[in-house]
Amino acid sequence: MTAKPLTAIAIDDEPQALEVIKLHAAKVPFLEIKARFTDAIEAIAWLQTNRVDLLFLDIKMPDILGTEVVNCLPKPPMVIFTTAYSDFAVQGFELDAVDYLLKPFSLARFLKACTKALDLHTLRSPDVPDFLFVKTGYEEEKVRFDDILYIEAEGNYLSFVLPNRKLLSRQTMADLIEQLPPDRFIRVHRSFCVAIHKIDVLGRQEITLGSHVIPIGASYEDAVTTIRTRLNTA
């Protein structure tokens, strides 16, 4: 279904319940359990420095409810609640849970929930390329988005500025913008488009990327303000 498996952790105060998830997960080819926790607070701490796609989360635990765990996370992964108490179902779905597994659940029911999570993950993370081909003369060169500092329009050409070199291509900025992922690049001037992740200093009238200083055009100030807000809240 996918070359990269869904990564997950399981949180449940009952070791036997975690063992059931471990055994079921071993039979799901697109799922990888990274860790299992009987202590929800320890799991929250682990998630501060580790990322996963999915949580298998018990709801009724001694120190904290599973629903409270989700609310503690600034950017929670997808959640599949696992519980012996059906009266928590409404709370679970109010938190946009992928599914709600009522214990004891079968492998078939577990697989159905995992499949729903995979489908949702695929919709949220479409398989898009991380590069484009830049035509230079009669050839086309593959350029990774991560390697681009900025692009500058020079007459009828675009100059792709990379860390150690430049590529000159005959095309317009308008055509190029349609090929660039909008979450990674922003046009800040009629003649300049910069890589957001390469920005070192975001000033009022100019942007600094390493030793390069790029002007901000008056008509692009609103777009730059949006990026400023995103970087400040990241």
Instruction: State the pLDDT at residue 2.
Output: 38
Which of 72, 73, 105 has the alpha carbon at shortest distance from 86? 105
Instruction: State the pLDDT at residue 4.
Output: 67
Q: What's the token pair of residue 178?
A: 């349609």
Instruction: State the pLDDT at residue 3.
Output: 45
Name 155's Cβ contacts closer than 8 Å, sequence gap at least 6: none
225-228 long-range contacts, CB within 8 A, separation 24+ = 227/186, 227/196, 227/199, 227/202, 228/202
Instruction: State the pLDDT at residue 230.
Output: 63
Query: How far, rounded to the nearest angstrom, does the alpha carbon of residue 151 sit from its chain's CA centroid?
Result: 25
Measured torsion, CA atoms of residues 89, 1, 32, 94, in degrees rounded to the nearest 10: -20
CA distance between the termini of the chain: 32
Q: Determine the topology of domain 132-233 in CATH.
A: OB fold (Dihydrolipoamide Acetyltransferase, E2P) (2.40.50)
Instruction: State the pLDDT at residue 67.
Output: 84
Q: Determine the topology of domain 6-124 in CATH.
A: Rossmann fold (3.40.50)
Instruction: State the pLDDT at residue 1.
Output: 34
Domain boundary assignment for the chain: 6-124, 132-233
| Contact present, 57 and 117 (Cβ < 8 Å) | no
| Contact present, 215 and 205 (Cβ < 8 Å) | yes
Q: pLDDT below 50 — which residues of the chain?
A: 1-3
